[in-house]
Amino acid sequence: SSCGPGTRTRAVWCASGDDSNCLATKPATQEVCSSTDGCGWSVGAFGDCSNTCGTGTRTRTVSCLDAQGGARPAIECGA
């Protein structure tokens, strides 16, 4: 599986075996595609609280990565 944009290919031929026998324009053999199967979230640990007493905020790093650990747009991880 993969993550991000790519190209999908297919074989296209005339049923007779001779493309000159087919009158219609030959369909494309390639198209641009995008897959999210290999994308996943990388979630870091929460940091310290921003307040020592009462309500505060803790933050963490969340990134969308491909199978090789490269950063991808969050939309590819379903954000």
- Where does the pLDDT of residue 1 fall: very low under 50, low under 70, confident under 90, or very high at 90 and above? low
Q: What pLDDT sits at residue 36?
A: 86
Q: Report how far residue 13's alpha carbon sits from residue 71's, in angstroms, rounded to the nearest whole number.
A: 39
Q: Which residues contact 67 (CB under 8 A, 6 or more apart)?
A: 1, 2, 3, 38
pTM of the model: 0.60
Q: With bands split at pLDDT 50, 70 and 90, how would you rate the model's confidence at 71? A: very high
What is d(CA 43, CA 69) in angstroms, rounded to the nearest whole number?
13
